[in-house]
Amino acid sequence: MVHRVIYSIDQLSKTVGHAFAWCIIILTFGTCYEVFMRYVLNDPTSWAFDLSYLMYGAVFYMAGAYTLSRAGHVRADMFYRLWSERTQAVVELVLYVVFFFPGILALVIAGSAYGLESMRILEVSVNSPAGVPIWPLKMMICVGAALIALQGFAEVLRCIVCLREGKWPARLHDVEELEQQILREHAEKTAAQAGQGVPQ
């Protein structure tokens, strides 16, 4: 049951993260179009700056839960990686309760007030005459924080499972660092050569 809850939350984070990853494509095309208009046709757009921070902001807010689900946030693990998995789980559990949840819940509450006020007045950008609506981006502050809080709950469940079973439950994986691929392929090649008696 606990594993199913963790998996469901991970899948939600994955779905939202993948959906908002398309903002990078929109941002890239928008920026290329602006460069072409500005430097080739000498006719810059009035909306390119707004588009760039709207798209980047959307990715930043809405991909946080996805990154947390993949353990992708920056971590100073020079000591952490040397500990047993149960010790890691204890430390993570304490840090989630003492630091993570108070901070993220404060962001949900403050972001909700900020976003709702922006939506109430249908706020638009003051950076260009195009009047690009920015209230949807401000609403993403609380929505993204709520998704991170939900993923944090899944991480707490992971800690509890690790304490109970002595090992971390598996994570979903859809992207792998090139360095990890190279190391895995080298290990497989070395194992295959050792199995065939090939000198290394």
* Rounded CA separation 63/155 (Å): 16
pLDDT at 177: 63
Q: CA–CA separation, 42 vs 77, rounded Å?
A: 50
Phi, psi of 34 (to 5 degrees): -65, -40
Eight-class DSSP state of 127 = S
Dist CA 63 CA 164 (whole Å): 30
Residue type, 78: M
CB under 8 A, 24+ apart: contacts of 119-127: 125/50, 127/49, 127/50
- Cα(60)–Cα(67) distance, integer angstroms: 10
Taking each helix axis as running N to C, give the angle between helix 135-165 and helix 101-120, from 0 to 180 degrees, rounded to the nearest 10: 160
d(C-alpha 140, C-alpha 121), whole Å: 16
- Is 0.85 surpassed by the pTM of this model? no
List, for residues 10-53, the tens digit of each pLDDT value.
999 999 999 999 999 999 999 999 999 989 998 888 888 888 88
pLDDT in tens, the chain (200 residues): 888 999 999 999 999 999 999 999 999 999 999 999 989 998 888 888 888 889 999 998 999 999 999 988 887 778 888 889 999 999 999 999 999 999 999 999 999 999 999 999 999 988 777 788 999 999 999 999 999 999 999 999 999 999 999 898 888 876 666 677 787 888 888 888 877 765 55
Alpha-helix runs per DSSP H in 63-177: 64-69, 85-95, 101-120, 135-165
Going from N- to C-terminal start, the domains of the chain cover: 2-172
- For 97, phi then psi, to 5°, come to -70, -45
